[in-house]
Chain A
Amino acid sequence: MKHMTRKATRHVNQNEGLIFEKSSAGKAAWKLPPLDVPEVDTAALLGASERKDLGNMPEVSEIEIIRHFTRLSTWNYAIDLGMYPLGSCTMKYNPRVNEAVARVEGIANGHPYQPEKISQGALHIIKTLSEQLIEITGMDAITLQPAAGAHGEMTGLLMVRAYHQSKGNARKKILIPDSAHGTNPATAAMVNYAVENLKSDSRGMVDIAALEAQMNEDVAALMLTNPNTLGVFEQDIHKIADILHAKGGLLYMDGANMNALVGKVRPGDFGVDVMHLNLHKTFSTPHGGGGPGSGPVAIKKALEPFLPTPVVTTKSDGTLGFDYNRPQSVGRVRAFYGNFGMFVRALAYIQANGPDGLRQTTEDAVLNANYIRKGLEGTYDLPYSTPTMHEVVFSDKVQLKKGVRTMDIAKRLIDYGFHPYTTAFPLIVPGALMIEPTESESKEEMDLFIEAMKSIAEEVEEDPQTVLDAPHSTRVSRLDETAAARKPVLRWKPAVLQPE
């Protein structure tokens, strides 16, 4: 481990139990103002519905809560600490101005049902972001209602189904490449479409001959990620769209990898009919430990009648309002209007970038991935030599000879001060290392990453056990996931139940 001190140094961090273990009766972190209306007799008001006891809810003071969560926070790795090259997740910098503007009073406290007359600010934000996302994607219309990427997929496929239904036949199946995210087939099932697997060719792209053979009038759509999960742009995208369109099918694009395209090419221009975006990936809204996301769905004109309700519209007096009267709509996919707070952040991101900034961002993201590819080629096996866009996928083929797998290398990377890449995905690459640096990494940070990866490869040759036992520097070592699943402990319980 000759290089590791360049990126990270071990330091003491605090131990901390569960909050319940700090609780004792009489401590409090809250204070309510005096009641300015008469007290009520809860028993009289609620009768049998009155709750008497709140069980084991904690009782702690404010300083304990601050320390508790601050201590927990120091056990996390985060983008703010360094490179977080999770492939397919686009872990880019989350600008702080986005957080500041999302907390401006009228934006943070706007009620979804307040009259339109006093909602013009929020409606303006929704409309502006919608228009800009339409321009960025080259599509014709959009809904911001879906709460995450997978939710967007569902919304998109509902519109696909409604479109086909309006032509008299909803069709039976969705084609999904074997390199796709797991959400794609799971979504197709939720919308009651059968899933048919489509194999990739030797370049890691859609096998055109297979597509031609499998495409028929039963196919509602192809769900394609472009660039795909290998970070490869589907060069035959136009042919793919033509094959689908010739038989009346639609091209759905999973926009998870849109960070490779913004400002350089628009899906609407290369034949996509419906696509979702992930505001938490491409448009910098924070990942927050696993959400909130936001998954707008952009569509071509032919699908517009099927958008979820409501749709923001300009009224005759020039003000903005919601249009609920859309008889062909697929309905609602969520209460209210979606994750509005994420719209605010995404719009602030686009504003900070402008057209030149967005283009430069994309160029840097692709440049970074290619720089890493160049740096690690020869050290790690590159199963597909097709040009790389925003992410690069290696395999553990070389290291496997010493019994070391992608997950072991990932765990060892933690000791070098990095978050691991995505492991074992896409499924078409056995033992995949999927690396997406994003535009947010400097040359220095990536040099350290390349150095760390090379150092680990050397360790695999000289001392594989060190890699197999990694991580060595974390609070906890590898956790027993099998035991966790076999006998699930999903909540805390008091150690000893005292008899009453």
Chain B
Amino acid sequence: MRYLPKSPADREGMLKTIGLRSVDELFSPIPAEYRLTRDLNIPRQMAESEIVDFFRQRSRENGDGYTSFLGAGAYFHYRPVIIDSLISRGEFLTAYTPYQAEISQGTLQSIFEFQTMICELTGMEVANASMYDGSTAAAEGVMMAVRLTGRRSVVVARSLHPEYREVLATYATHQGMPLSVAGFGDDGRVNLKELEKSITPETACVLVQSPNFFGTIEDLAAIAEIAHKHGAMLVVSIAEAVSLGIVEPPRDADVIAMEAQSFGVPLGFGGPYCGVIATREKYVRQMPGRLVGQTVDKQGKRGFVLTLATREQHIRREKATSNICTNQALVALMVNIFMTVYGKVGLKELAKQNLAKTAYAAGQFAKHGKVLFGGTPRFNEFVVQTTEDPYAINSRLLGHKMVGGLPLKKFYPELGNAALWCCTELTTRIAIDTAVGLVAESERSVRSSSTKEEVEEVAR
């Protein structure tokens, strides 16, 4: 086996040193009746070239070469080449959690820089070294608010990513954290009256997303005011990190739970991504996850260490703030490099391009279909309502090697034939015009025809 650095003679010599005759003796502690006496039923060893072929084939079956208008919590942005050059260095790739600070200063300093940049972008005072993803970060952010307020119930915006809501529901079920949902209004934002009605003296926090699942920017100042008036905290989820380049961060939030995938992390069919929690300094001891702090060595030289470990599971066991141990360090490094590449000016310009493409696309779609929540500021996503079922529209787009917006029926049946479209800096005008043309064509044909058969004919 090519990964194993031993010759048969090495193995024999080692066994002899130990004083054993055969390898089987090493496994004698395992009761004989359980020992496997056959080969595992998996394919034979493959050559490297065969492995590469296998995955190239899978790649061809996986949307390779399609132009996509999907967002909804996973965004296709350009990834500067140097991200992979740098994270492929074995010293980053094949190290573990920096427990031994003296030989982990590279990882530690880069996490310290990551924490700093997340603070700069979110307007918060402290940020952790990463969480699994945006959905679990939101759930952990809520649990943090529950610990901090001593209250237990949670009000969640319906305009929060539906899968984030599902994850929160899973986390909350057994912790005695009742959830209630605040709906959205005609402007695609949290219905403030409904929100206020949902808050009780037992409400620990309000959880909203901005830009929300529809791409609409929430009125966070108003939401914060309502939450704080009732002694509840405001937890804000940010799923599209690029928005922070041009959209004011939620400075009134108490906790920000972010998904940083947009910052240089491949779509990768949904993961690994990079969650982050940022908050105010006074709440840091209730924060989950690893934190890196600056200190000095015996000579007074600046250095970095994992710190405030007394919050964590390996010290506190069942009293820990979270069970999180391994997080997303290498993905956080991708995010870190991306933020460094674009920096103060580039992030803003990047965000502006996203805004411009989206404004153009929404304008074009509005000529042929109904773009919902039009009067409200949005970032790079919008909802298009059509006469025809978006699944049918999308199957036609697929024929043109295009993936249309995400049909919303599964998550928001109340919106009818609606789909969530996304444009980033990588979406070309030609792609937008083609997609708009195809949607317009289908709208015309559906309107001019009353028989269902014909619709299906087109859809096929």
Contacts and interface: CB of A to CB of B under 8 A. Distances in A.
Contact of B167 (A110, A334, A445): A334
A490 B44 contact: no
Given A112-B267, A182-B317, A334-B133, A72 B106 contact: yes
A344 B135 contact: no
Interface in A319-365: 330-342, 344, 348, 350-361, 363-364
B130 to A, nearest CB: 7
A292 B175 CA distance: 26
Interface stretch (B9-17, B145-153, B224-232, B440-448): B9-17
B296 A483 contact: yes
Contact of B130 (A291, A477, A488, A492): A291
A364 B27 CA distance: 12
Contacts of B133: 147, 334-335
A189 interface: yes
A381 interface: no
Contact of B66 (A118, A263, A358): A118
Interface stretch (B71-79, B197-205, B381-389, B451-459): B71-79
A18 B112 contact: yes
Among B29, B60, B266, B350: residue with most chain A CB under 10 A: B29
A57 B307 contact: no
Contacts of B295: 479-481, 483-484, 489
A485 B120 contact: no
A45 B26 contact: no
A4 to B, nearest CB: 15
A289 B284 contact: no
Contact of A491 (B28, B64, B115): B115
Closest 10 CB pairs of A and B: A288-B330, A336-B270, A80-B90, A121-B62, A106-B64, A106-B59, A354-B45, A112-B270, A290-B329, A292-B272
Nearest to B27: A264
Given A42-B352, A112-B269, A480 B317 contact: no
Given A40-B359, A65-B340, A54 B102 contact: no
Contacts of A142: none
Contacts of B96: 84, 86, 89, 91, 287, 289-290
B132 A148 contact: yes
Interface string A44-67: 011111110011111110100110
Nearest to A72: B106
Given A36-B429, A352-B48, A358-B40, A440 B3 contact: yes
A45 B244 contact: no
Contacts of A148: 132, 324-327
A420 B101 CA distance: 11
Contact of B72 (A113, A333, A440, A492): A113
A262 B35 CA distance: 11
A280 B326 CA distance: 10
Interface stretch (A190-198, A209-217, A242-250, A456-464): A190-198
Contacts of B307: 481, 484-485, 488, 490
Given A37-B357, A147-B133, A334 B271 contact: yes
Interface string B165-178: 01101110111100
A263 B26 CA distance: 14
B247 interface: yes
A237 B31 contact: yes
B367 interface: no
Contacts of B97: 287, 289-290
Interface string B328-356: 11110100010111111111111011011
A410 to B, nearest CB: 7
Interface residues of B, number: 199
Contacts of A103: 84, 266
A347 to B, nearest CB: 8
Nearest to A234: B29
A54 B28 contact: no
Contacts of A354: 42-46
Nearest to A138: B36
A439 interface: yes
A151 B103 contact: no
A55 to B, nearest CB: 4
Interface string B134-164: 1110000000000000000000000001011
A397 interface: no
B44 to A, nearest CB: 5
Contact of A342 (B272, B317, B345): B272
Contacts of B342: 29-30
A6 B19 CA distance: 27
A229 B62 CA distance: 41
B94 A78 contact: yes
B66 to A, nearest CB: 6
A288 B167 contact: no
Nearest to A52: B248
Contacts of B95: 76-79, 84, 287-289
A19 B339 CA distance: 11
Contacts of A166: none
Contacts of A9: none
A355 B310 CA distance: 43
B434 interface: no
A289 B92 contact: yes
B68 A114 contact: yes
